[in-house]
Each structure stands twice: as C-alpha cells, then as structure tokens.
Amino acid sequence: MDFTTLTLTNVTRTFGRRRALNQVSLEADAGQLTAVLGPNGSGKSTLLSIVATLLSPTSGDVKYGAHDGRAGSALRRRIGLLGHDLYIYPELSPAENLRFFAKAYRLTDVERRVDEALDRAGLTDRRDDAVAGFSRGMRQRLAVERALLHEPRLVLLDEPFTGLDDAATRTLRERLAGLRAAGCIVLLATHDLETVDGLVDRAVVLHNGRLGEVAGGSTPLRERYRVAVNHQIAKSPNPPIAR
Amino acid sequence: MTFVRDVWLVTRKDLLIEARSKEILYTTVFFAVACVVVFAFGFVREGRPVADAAAGILWIAIAFSGTLALGRAFERERQTETLRALMIAPIERPALYLGKLLGILILLAIVEAVIVPLVGLMYQAPLFAHATLMLGLLLSGTIGFAAVGTLFAAMLVRARSRDVLLPVLLYPITIPVIIAGVRGTASLLQADVDEPMARAWLAMLAFFDVVFVTLALWTFEPVMTD
C-alpha cells in the first residue's frame, strides 16, 4: 500500500482525566517537512505515537491517504519512527540491530542495506561493537538509520538532533532534505528551532494539546514560534481536563 | 512461512541478547538451584525425602524461576523502549507473542536441564526412569505456564507495580497447570509407578496448553494496543 497524504481530523487523546491532545487537525503531503514544536509535555510525542499507530485516538480520525490505522502491518511497513528513546538493543552491535530490523521489515539484500546504513551513520569501523559502549550521538545516528532503513513513506522523528555534533547535525539535515526530495511525508518534533530553521516547509505548535500554525516568513523560526505559543496561550491558558 | 520466519526472528534476537548478557539465565538457574537446595533441608530427613516432595519442589522451582525470567524478558524491552519498535514493525502480533514465548521456553528448558538432575540427586527421585513421560510432563507443563506468563508479562509491561502484579495474576491462573505437573510427576515417582495416571495428567496439561496458547494468541493484539 502507498499514500501521499496524512490527514488528522479532530484527534483527541485522553489519559485518565488529562487531555493530551485536544481536537487536533493536521494535513501533511508527500515531499513536505513539517516541524511539530511545543514546550515539554505539550503532546508532541503523543501525536507522533498516534500517527505511528502505537496509540489509538480517543476520538477523531487519522487517515493515510485512503487508508486508516486498521490497515495493520501493510501500513506499518510504510512508517518509520524515531522515538525519544532510541529503540535499539544495547547488547547487540549496530550491524546486528540493523540486520534484525531489516529482516523484521522483510527487506531484500539485507547485507548491502546494513552496510550502506552503517556507512551513513559513520559506524562502519564500529559495526561489531556492542551499542552499550556507544556515546549518545553514535546511538542517535544509528537510531536514525534504523528508522529509515526500510525507506518509509511516512517518517516520524522525535527530537532527531539530540546528542548530535555539528557534523552529524549537518548530515542529518542533508538526509532530511533528501527525504523531502524522495517524496516522504516527514513530521519532526523538536526543540532545536535554529537547527530546523530554513529546513522545514511548515511548522505547527502544540500547546496544552491544542495545535496552532506557526506563521511562515523570513523572520527567525524562534520568533515566529514565540508568537504562535503566545497566541495559543491566549486561546487556552489552562491544560484541558476531560469531562 | 513468513509467520514462522518472524517467530524465529524474535526468538533468535532474544536468545542472542541473552547470550551476550546471560542475565536471565544466571539469575533463574541460581534461583531454581537455591530453591531446590533450601527445600532439601526441610524435606529430606536422615537421607530419606518426604513422599511426593520431589515432584512439588521441582514444579515450585520451575514456576518461581519462570516468573523471574518472564518479568525480566519484558523489562528489558521496556527499558530500551524496543517493544515500541517491535510493535511498529510489520510483524504480526501472534508471531511476536510466539517468538517471545519460544525464547522463554528455551531459557526454561536450560533451567530444567540443571534442576531435574539436581532434584533427582537430592531427593533420590528416579526422574529418568520414565524419561519420555517425564519429558512430556515437563514440556507441556512449561508451555502452559509460560503461555499465560508471556501474555501477562507483556500486558503488565507498562504497569507501575508489574513486579508484584505478575505473580499475583499468574499463579491463580496457572495453578491447574502446576497441580497437573506435580500430580503427574508424583505418579511417576511413587513406589508403584502409576503410568496411566501420569498419562491422564499429561493429557490434561496438553488440554491446558491448547486453551492457554489459543486464548493468548487471541488476546495478545488487543492487550498490546494502547
């Protein structure tokens, strides 16, 4: 299955009495990089988990082109997720981690893909060392390659720049630009506003579970983000409670 | 074929991780051996064991060490959040369940390979006299116990009191399996061996296995969807 749009319509998710997402609607197209911004606890990770089919919305719809989350494993094969936790096995080597996920995604030519991914992550010379001994930046580079190994259509990245040095950040920016050129739908939750400024096509802000648009323009993204957050605070000053 | 391949992929990954860390293997074997040895001080008097003690202690050791292994197997996935990566991968949920179950069964088989001879030695129990029946009882009893345990351990992976809740939920449900295992084993260890009775308990264990594995395969997907 394939799709070129992601559409969220009035998505609400509650945890007990706390409403993590409140009537969120969002549309993203193929070849578009969308930054999801917002303070800690604003619902960014919940939003990505719902889009990744790991969480069900309490109400509202998520559509992947013409399909919904019930498309099951065929849909999951088209989604790549990098979480805040890196989803890699520290006891295994980078090559073993990538090989495991390549087989889980039923990829062909596994060894070539693993070699290429290790090369992109700059971990070829550490391919057989246990990940447990790696720095955060090295793990992050590996985790990015793990998430993109199966060439997903929908790429969900939660804080992908965490722990990366300047060179790795530059490489990841280039990789993200490559994903846009390849026609991927990319949702990127981040606090690194300076890093994604000029890279993303569009930015939205989540505050207290409500989604707002960050205006486009030539002013720095941080400035536009501040304006958008203030606007959101004015609209809904208190965290929403489910009734 | 893809289903079987996915099951083995998950099992192989779990075994590879365990081969590197040896964390579950060492703790469960040590715990099971400690169980058998400590009980021996109470149930073996002047070199003679209390009747049926060997069967009870063998299954207690399997159940206790199995609970330890079950909790740890999923705790490892929780700590690294790799369970989410498995959930988003296009692996069918039943294949994921069976892969985890098979990994636990192989670990418990190693534990049993250590404690069965130990119980035989310390309680003078002729556990190898009817090796095929004994093997059948151990295999079917362990499958029944681990089938429920794997489901509950997965279900509790995000619960705050999972370490306490796992045995509290697991033992009441698996009591029939443990009783069948103990009685089946005891009928093979008594002075005049009751093979038909052992076969009856084995049949009951096989029945529990079918019921528990079917229920677990049926409920694993909704249980794992938040």
Closest CB from A56, A101, A130 relative to B226:
A56
Pair (A158, A223) in one structural domain: yes
Residue B74 pLDDT grade (very low, low, confident, very high; cuts 50, 70, 90): confident
Phi and psi for A25 in degrees, rounded to 5? -125, 135
Quote the tokens at residue A125.
């010379």
CATH number at A212 reads 3.40.50.300
Q: Which residues, in sequence order, are bridge partners of residue A189?
A: A36, A158
- Domain layout of chain B by residue ranges: 2-224
Residue A84 lies in a domain: no
Residues A173 and A236 in one domain: yes
Q: What is the per-residue pLDDT for A198?
A: 87
Measured between beta carbons, the chain B residues lying within 8 angstroms of A56 are 225-226
Joined tokens for residue A80: 């790549």
Whether residue A190 sits in one domain with residue A73 = yes
| B13/A100 touch (CB, cutoff 8 Å), yes or no | yes
Average pLDDT of A50-64?
Answer: 92
**DSSP per-residue codes, A50-99:** HHTTSS--SEEEEEETTEEGGGTHHHHTTEEEE-SS----TTS-HHHHHH
Q: Please, which residues bridge with residue A156 across strands?
A: A81, A187
Closest partner CB to A105 (pick from B13, B89, B225): B89
End-to-end CA distance of chain B: 29
- Tokens for A29, please give them: 């197209």
Question: What pLDDT sits at residue A237?
Answer: 62
Q: Quick check: B80 and A104 CB within 8 A?
A: no
A and B: number of Cβ contacts within 8 A? 69
**Is residue A170 located within the same domain as residue A57?**
yes
pLDDT score of A89: 95
- Among A104, A136, A151, the domain-final residue is A151
Best mutation target, A87, A107, A156, to test chain B (most B CBs within 10 A)? A87
Each residue of B128-153: pLDDT tens digit?
888 999 999 999 999 999 999 999 99
Q: How far apart are CA A29 and CA A201, in angstroms?
A: 11
Write down the pTM of the prediction: 0.89
Asked if A115 and A170 sit in the same domain, the reply is: no
- Contact: A54, B84; criterion CB under 8 Å: yes
CB contact (8 A) between residue A76 and residue B13? no
Beta strands in chain B (DSSP E): 44-45, 48-49
Each residue of B158-181: pLDDT tens digit?
Answer: 788 888 899 899 999 999 999 999
Interface of A with B in 42-61 (CB under 8 A): 52-56
pLDDT number for residue A240 = 60
Range of the domain at A140: 90-151
User: Do A233 and A164 belong together in one domain?
Assistant: yes
Domain contains A165:
yes
For A74, other C-beta atoms within 10 Å of its C-beta total: 11
The reply to whether A97 and A196 lie within a common domain is no
**Mean pLDDT value across chain A:** 90
Please give the share of chain A, as a percent, with pLDDT higher than 70.
Answer: 97
Residues A183, A230, single domain; the answer is yes
What ipTM describes this predicted complex?
A: 0.87
Within this chain, do residues A72 and A192 fall inside the same structural domain, yes or no? yes
Residue B16 CB contacts under 8 Å (≥ 6 apart), including other chains:
A91, A92, A96
Residue where a domain stops, chosen among A130, A151, A172: A151
Per-residue pLDDT tens for A7-54? Answer: 999 999 998 888 899 999 999 999 999 999 988 888 899 999 999 998
Residue B215 pLDDT more than 90? Answer: yes
Are A132 and A160 in a shared domain? Answer: no
**Residue A115 belongs to a domain:** yes
In total, how many domains does chain A have?
Answer: 2
Q: Hey, of B88, B93, B158, which one would you mutate to test binding to chain A, going by the most A CBs within 10 A of its CB?
A: B88
Statement to judge: residues A57 and A94 lie in one domain: no
Same domain for A172 and A71 = yes
8 A C-beta contact, residue A94 and residue A142: yes
Contacts of B139 (CB under 8 A, 6+ apart): none
Buried b (16+ CB within 10 A) or exposed e, A206-215: bbbbbbbebe
Residues of chain B positioned with their CB less than 8 A from the CB of A52: 88
Computed over every residue of chain B, the mean pLDDT equals 91
Q: Is residue A134 in a domain?
A: yes
The DSSP code for A54 is S
